[in-house]
Structure 1
């Protein structure tokens, strides 16, 4: 366990993002990510297995992520009753490693909808340098969310208070996203290029006794932070 903890700490320092992609991925996009992140790791959820094995996913900068505690892993399986296991794993690993979701396949925004508290639509996809820049911005957002853990202590002490906090956290997410990603051109009719996610609205729908038991583990506080996802447009 101690060795796993040290590995987790080292990955938090060096992980650029958690990849969320379909079973038949775009090799062009993944290889572009690999080229742009030679010295930073890119995380893959445990259940992510392309239909056609890709050898380059088994070497740096890609790495297979793991859950830092059994309670977080159990939570991912509980959430898989609401969404695909791959989605629940990726979202939980994102908050566990303080790394944004790299959404390679845009249809995943629809699957993430139960957790979505803010979206940014744009007439243009994020490409090349714009994507890299805003991925870095998203990384800062993840850290700041941990610095401002609205309601985390209260929920850990008493899960019954979670529901009233949902709207408060959503308001904070909207304000933060609009301020932080101001450089991206906006369009109400455009494609989703960035979103914030909160596990709390779905967690409060779980049976109270189950949620209360899971939240007894101090690691569970990681799951109560917000996450950010950035869509990768066509590489350039």
Structure 2
């Protein structure tokens, strides 16, 4: 686990970060392709995947900004793989989309909506939609974290909040009008950590963590690379 991070360093990383990579080995060609798209902005690497990554200036190993994030990872890892739990929590805490090189199934309990495409994206389209996914996660953050804190107070409010969050995600899909289709491969998924809290019966545990639990409960966009 991480030793933490100073606030000034955390702020600098958040400002420059464009995604948190989910990678568990293999598919080296996709990893190389992704890294080639970033020269001046950073991509986050989770502590559990740092040993799988090449040395690149654009890669930043992420630390747990507060202890609540570490606690949330521990709780979520009872439901999804540790690596996925860590990626989901740190992507929310650093207000950044997930760049997923692997299987979306490993995040299945958090998936609330998906966007499909039948297009073969060129480099320009990829870069555009990487930026849009970043905006999706950023624009959701303030509302979805506040919404999650309210939801932790009781079960009825939690169910209501889940519906509200799915409606917001459905509305957000319009951002991807250039490539969205009814068929094809899954290009993007909306991940809701609060869905895991509900399905796994973890509301009381997260409520006890306190307000900092909200850091990991933002709605997060995940691009399937």
Distance 1:2 1:78 in 2: 19
Residues 148 and 194 in structure 2, CA contact (< 8 A), matched pair in contact too: no
TM alignment of 1:67-82, pairs within 5 A: 67-82=64-79
* TM-score normalised to structure 1 length: 0.85
Distance 2:55 2:13 in 1: 16
From the superposition, tell whether residues 80 and 129 of structure 1 become closer, same or farther in structure 2 (CA, over 3 Å). Answer: same
How far does the alpha carbon of each residue in 1:2-36 deviate from its partner, in whole angstroms, 9 at most, with x for none? 9621111101000110111232241x332333332
2:223 aligned with 1:230, yes or no? yes
| Runs of 4+ residues deviating >4 angstroms | none
Shift of 1:173: 0.8
Q: CA RMSD in A?
A: 2.1
Distance 1:228 1:24 in 2: 23
- 2:161 is matched with 165
Distance 1:3 1:164 in 2: 35
TM alignment of 1:11-160, pairs within 5 A: 11-26=13-28, 28-48=29-49, 57-105=54-102, 108-149=103-144, 151-155=147-151, 158-160=153-155
5+ residue gaps, structure 1: none
Q: Secondary structure at the match of 1:67?
A: coil
- 1:203 is matched with 197
Distance 2:176 2:222 in 1: 12
How far does the alpha carbon of each residue in 1:56-109 deviate from its partner, in whole angstroms, 9 at most, with x for none? x2331111111111111111111111111111111111111111111123xx21
5+ residue gaps, structure 2: none
Residues 117 and 170 in structure 1, CA contact (< 8 A), matched pair in contact too: yes
Q: Secondary structure at the match of 2:114?
A: strand
Residues 125 and 193 in structure 1, CA contact (< 8 A), matched pair in contact too: no
Residues 103 and 231 in structure 1, CA contact (< 8 A), matched pair in contact too: yes
Shift of 1:153: 4.2
Q: Secondary structure at the match of 1:151?
A: helix
From the superposition, tell whether residues 67 and 184 of structure 1 become closer, same or farther in structure 2 (CA, over 3 Å). Answer: same
Shift of 1:227: 0.2
Q: Secondary structure at the match of 2:47?
A: coil
